[in-house]
Structure formats: structure tokens, C-alpha cells
């Protein structure tokens, strides 16, 4: 199939081309993000391939449909950027990559914890400046600390297992608790309130839905244990960024590791060096020494990129052959999430 691949970067182009040796699709790479304005680039393409910061809203889908597109293949697990109701109405199938490497994302969440705790980002800069002093770099033992894992799906579970290895006590929250975590790791499912009260580290692994939008708002932040470290590798809008800035300024939140940011579209994945950053909230977040922002890179491992490319291209092949689309995502699934 001819597939229009949007928001292409060198890293995923290489992975897609390598995987395509097994499928033989015709891949046409476009740098712009997929939006209503750029959808016309896909004129005549039955399939388009979209990335996390595209805006596949009703207008974009209408434009794609008019151009002949019938399949939107997401190179992501999250699908909060797609209007699934409109896609369903237009008969456009949407497929995603539900699992490509939970380890990649979980390991990045833990990397943020370790870097923030042991001030690696500051130590690195200091030593390069020949400043070998240690003042201000004191961290804490992870062993024995309480980690709150919010969302214990694939990524949350992988993170829980790593923290268990550090000797942490695990408190979990999920709408569909998984008893294996309790059995194997001694984790306890508790209310969010308990996590807020007791967690030294809180890591977010729920999807972004209307129900989880600004899950971490000013009220939630206030309830958290003073000095808590907050990690978000889920989706930016799980956290109210302005409220987080307030809680960082007051010192109530000890540190924040953010791989995602609610207004990241159009900024993350781009090189803005030498330009003026227009987003004052992001700019303020970047001024805190105890905040570490990465540019939505938690998924970025060789293994994950290979799996993303392979699953995407195999879904495209299934669509082309009229075979069942095992990774299809439909509006009904989002409105009524399956309970495990």
C-alpha cells in the first residue's frame, strides 16, 4: 500500500524503512505533523501513518476522507489525539501499536527519578565546568521509599517491577487492579488519596482521557506528601502545569520529571535552539533546578522503534488484505474501557 507517513524524523524513518523490507509497502515520508492543514498532502493515499503530536481531529479526518484515505495507522499506543467518533462515522479505520516496549517507557521514568534524585543533570554540568564540589547534590536512598504507581497497565507494571528491585514499597492505583502485582511484588492497591498522602515518588502511567485530564491539579498537589517527586511519562495534560509551577515555587513538590507536557505539540521533537521559546509555562518549568524535562523520548529505544514500525506495517498489510485488524481502536472502546 502507499502510505503517507507524517511527522517523520530521522530515527523513525530509518526504523520504518528497515521494517518495510519485510512488507514492501510504498512509504512516502512527510516532515509536517498531520493536521487539517497538512492532510491534503495525503491526497490519493489509502493509508496515512500518524505520530503522537499530530492533530487528527474531525477537520483533518474529513480532509483525509475526501482525499481517499481509509486507514489511519498510529505509530503510538496513545490515541487521545484522534477523533475516533468522526473516524468511525467516516468509515476510516484507526489502528495503533498497543505495546511496543513497556520497558522503554518504564526505564525512562526510572531514569528521570535517578537523575533528579542524585542531581545527575546538575552534577554533569558542574564537573564540565571543573566545579568538583558536592554541596547541593544530596539525594536519598530509593531503598525503603514509597512509590505510588498510578496506572498499572503494561508500562506501570514494568515500572513497578523496577522499583520493586530497588527495594521500594509499592502503592498502586488503577480502575482495573491486577492481583499479580500484589502477589508477586507485595504491592497494595489503594485510593489516590492514600498515594498522595504516602508516596515519596509518584509516577503516572494512565492514558489521557476526559476522566484523567488534569488528574494532578492544585487540589491533588496540595494533598501530596511535602517533597514528593512527581514523574510523568504518560501524557502532558494529566498534570495541570500551572498548578505544578505553583507547587514547585512553594517548595511543596520536591522534584518533577516530565517527559510529556500538555502544550508539547509543535515544540517537542523540534529544534528551537537559537529561537525564542514562546510558551511561558514551559519556559518557567525549565527554570527550576529540580525539574527535568525530556522531549517525549521515553519510547525512544531501538527495540521500541523496531516494534512500532513492524506492528504498524503489519496492520497496514492486514488492512490491504482485508484481514482482521487486531490493533484497531474504536470510539466505543474509549467510552467503555475494557475491564481486565
Q: C-beta of 308: minimal distance to ligand NAI in Å?
A: 10
Query: Which of 25, 75, 108, 296 is the catalytic position?
Result: 296
Stretch that binds ligand NAI, among 40-48, 195-203, 242-250, 296-304 (CB under 6 A): 296-304
Contact present, 48 and 64 (Cβ < 8 Å): yes
By CB under 6 A, tell whether 97 contacts ligand NAI.
no
Which residue, 16 or 109, is less far from ligand NAI as judged by CB?
Answer: 109
User: How far is the C-alpha of 112 from the C-alpha of 120, rounded, in Å?
Assistant: 10
Beta strands in the chain (DSSP E): 2-5, 26-29, 47-50, 71-74, 93-95, 146-150, 169-173, 188-189, 201-204, 228-232, 253-258, 291-293
Task: Select the residue interacting with ligand NAI from 142, 220, 230, 298 (CB under 6 A).
Answer: 298
Q: C-beta of 238: minimal distance to ligand NAI in Å?
A: 8
Which residue, 211 or 289, is less far from ligand NAI as judged by CB?
Answer: 211
Q: C-beta of 192: minimal distance to ligand NAI in Å?
A: 8
CA-angle at 103, arms to 185 and 19, nearest 5°: 150
Task: Select the residue interacting with ligand NAI from 56, 105, 220, 285 (CB under 6 A).
Answer: 105
Which parts of 27-86 interact with ligand NAI (CB under 6 A)?
77-78
Closest by CA position to 327, among listed 303, 340, 310: 310
Q: C-beta of 271: minimal distance to ligand NAI in Å?
A: 19
Q: Answer yes or no: 296 catalytic.
A: yes
C-alpha 265: how far from its chain's center? 12
User: How far is the C-alpha of 255 from the C-alpha of 229, rounded, in Å?
Assistant: 5
* Residue-wise burial string across 199-225, b where 16 or more C-beta atoms lie within 10 A, e elsewhere: bbbbbbbbbbeeebebbbeeebbeebb
Stretch that binds ligand NAI, among 59-67, 162-170, 216-224, 232-240 (CB under 6 A): 232-240
Q: Closest residue (Cβ) to ligand NAI?
A: 153
Residue 337 has what DSSP assignment? P
Stretch that binds ligand NAI, among 41-49, 134-142, 167-175, 180-188 (CB under 6 A): 167-175
Query: Which of 96, 235, 262, 327 is the catalytic position?
Result: 235
By CB under 6 A, tell whether 256 contacts ligand NAI.
no
Q: C-beta of 118: minimal distance to ligand NAI in Å?
A: 22
Q: DSSP states of 170-223 as a string?
A: EEEE-SS--HHHHHHH--EE--HHHHHHH-SEEEE-PPP-TTTTTSB-HHHHHH
Binding pattern for the stretch 261-290 against ligand NAI, x by CB under 6 A and - elsewhere:
------------------------------
Contact present, 234 and 205 (Cβ < 8 Å): yes
Which parts of 172-231 interact with ligand NAI (CB under 6 A)?
173-176, 205-209, 211-212
- Please give the C-alpha separations between residue 209 and each of 212, 238, 265, in angstroms, as whole numbers: 5, 9, 17
* Residue-wise burial string across 6-16, b where 16 or more C-beta atoms lie within 10 A, e elsewhere: bbbeeebeebb
Q: C-beta of 33: minimal distance to ligand NAI in Å?
A: 16
Q: At what angle do helices 10-20 and 302-321 cross, to 10 degrees?
A: 50
At residue 98, φ and ψ (nearest 5 deg) are: -65, -30
Which parts of 106-165 interact with ligand NAI (CB under 6 A)?
151-156
Q: C-beta of 312: minimal distance to ligand NAI in Å?
A: 14
Residue 20 has what DSSP assignment? H
Query: Which of 264, 284, 303, 321 is the catalytic position?
Result: 264
Binding residues for ligand NAI, per CB under 6 A? 77-78, 102, 105, 151-156, 173-176, 205-209, 211-212, 233-235, 259-260, 296, 298-299
Residues annotated as catalytic are 235, 264, 296
Amino acid at each position: 500500500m502507499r502510505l503517507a507517513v507524517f511527522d517523520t524524523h530521522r530515527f523513525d524513518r530509518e526504523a520504518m524503512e528497515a521494517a518495510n523490507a519485510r512488507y514492501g509497502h510504498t512509504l512516502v515520508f512527510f516532515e509536517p505533523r498531520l493536521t487539517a492543514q497538512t492532510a491534503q498532502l495525503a491526497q490519493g493515499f489509502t493509508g496515512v501513518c500518524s505520530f503522537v503530536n499530530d492533530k487528527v481531529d474531525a477537520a483533518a479526518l474529513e480532509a483525509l476522507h475526501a482525499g481517499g484515505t481509509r486507514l489511519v495507522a498510529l505509530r503510538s499506543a496513545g490515541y487521545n489525539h484522534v477523533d475516533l467518533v468522526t473516524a468511525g462515522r467516516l468509515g476510516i479505520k484507526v489502528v495503533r501499536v498497543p505495546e511496543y516496549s513497556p520497558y522503554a517507557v518504564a526505564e525512562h521514568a526510572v531514569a528521570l527519578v535517578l537523575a533528579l534524585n542524585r542531581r545527575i543533570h546538575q552534577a554533569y554540568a558542574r564537573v564540565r565546568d571543573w566545579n568538583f564540589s558536592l554541596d547541593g547534590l544530596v539525594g536519598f536512598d530509593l531503598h525503603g521509599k514509597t512509590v505510588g504507581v498510578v496506572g498499572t497497565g503494561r508500562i506501570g507494571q514494568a515500572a513497578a517491577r523496577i522499583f520493586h528491585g530497588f527495594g521500594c514499597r509499592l502503592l498502586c492505583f488503577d480502575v482495573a487492579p491486577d492481583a499479580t502485582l500484589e502477589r508477586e511484588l507485595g504491592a497494595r492497591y489503594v485510593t489516590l488519596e492514600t498515594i498522595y498522602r504516602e508516596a515519596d515518588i509518584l509516577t503516572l502511567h494512565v492514558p489521557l482521557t476526559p476522566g484523567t485530564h488534569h488528574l494532578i491539579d492544585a487540589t491533588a498537589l496540595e494533598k501530596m506528601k511535602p517533597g514528593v517527586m512527581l514523574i510523568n511519562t504518560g501524557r502532558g495534560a494529566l498534570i495541570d502545569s500551572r498548578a505544578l509551577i505553583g507547587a514547585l515555587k512553594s517548595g511543596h513538590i520536591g522534584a518533577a520529571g516530565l517527559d510529556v507536557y500538555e502544550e508539547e505539540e509543535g515544540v517537542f521533537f523540534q529544534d528551537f535552539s537559537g529561537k525564542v521559546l514562546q510558551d511561558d509555562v514551559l519556559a518557567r518549568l525549565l527554570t527550576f533546578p529540580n525539574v527535568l524535562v525530556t522531549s517525549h523520548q521515553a519510547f525512544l529505544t531501538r527495540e521500541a522503534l523496531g516494534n512500532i514500525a513492524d506492528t504498524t506495517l503489519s496492520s497496514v498489510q492486514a488492512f490491504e488484505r482485508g484481514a482482521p485488524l487486531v490493533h484497531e481502536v474504536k470510539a466505543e472502546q474509549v467510552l467503555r474501557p475494557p475491564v481486565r
